[in-house]
Amino acid sequence: MKVIFLSVFSLILGCNSIKEFEYISNSNDRKYKDFVSQHDANSYTNIVSKKGTFYLYKPCDLGFQQLIEINDNKIVIEAGETFEYQIKSVIHNNDFIDYEIYNDYEMGNLLMKTLDDNKVLFKLKDKDAISYFLMTSFSSATNYPLIIHHCNEKRAEMDFDSLDLERIWHHGFE
């Protein structure tokens, strides 16, 4: 009898557990505020597209979180690993801002292109590769709903639309 009761009780608890993916559109929600308040206005977080709608995304594995923080003399990029760069120069072009950056290991450029009032596309160029990051500033983050991936152990992240960020860099959202 105890075994049956425990099995039913476990089943009830399992049904009441938090969904793996939580969608929050209310920017006054405590979890939403916690996510947005983690950085200042000079910081940017990645946005993702799911069925053509853009979202903020808090992954299960923080290695999937992308953040860029721009200060007066340094830039911090979190994308799986954290890289800190000093700013050598800043050039304002017609379409983008070019940050010439360096650290103890390499030199490169971080280009920042504003796509619209809420979206920014970064292009990181170093000696080995070019990487693109579609982002929004934390001050504009409330314009997007938030998806939180709840997990107690490592799990597969949500699948999102594949965006050709190189094409968007050159042609925008046509």
| pLDDT score of 19 | 82
In a domain, 11, yes or no: no
Q: What is the mean pLDDT of residues 19-42?
A: 89
Q: What is the mean pLDDT of residues 3-13?
A: 38
Domain that residue 99 falls in: 21-171
How far apart are alpha carbons 157 and 155 in whole angstroms? 6
In a domain, 9, yes or no: no
Q: Tokens 């009830």 label which residue?
A: 12
Q: What is the domain-level CATH number for residue 140? A: 2.40.128
DSSP string, 115-151: -SSS-EEEEEEESS-EEEEEEEETTTGGGS-EEEE--
Q: How do residues 21-30 score in pLDDT, each as one tens digit? A: 899 999 999 9
Q: What is the mean pLDDT of residues 135-149?
A: 93
pLDDT > 70 in the chain, percent: 90
Structure tokens at 141: 């983050």
Structure tokens at 137: 């500033």
Kindly tell me if the per-residue pLDDT of 70 is higher than 60.
yes
In a domain, 40, yes or no: yes
Instruction: Please report which confidence band the pLDDT of residue 18 belongs to, taking 50, 70 and 90 as the band edges.
Output: low
Which residue, among 121, 90, 107, has the nearest Cα to 99 in the 3D structure? Answer: 90
For residue 2, the SS3 value is: helix
Q: What is the pTM of this model?
A: 0.83
In a domain, 119, yes or no: yes
| pLDDT score of 6 | 38
| pLDDT score of 125 | 95
Q: What are the distances in angstroms from CA 157 to CA 58, 91, 154?
A: 10, 37, 9
Which residue, among 89, 139, 94, 81, has the nearest Cα to 110 in the 3D structure? Answer: 89
In a domain, 130, yes or no: yes
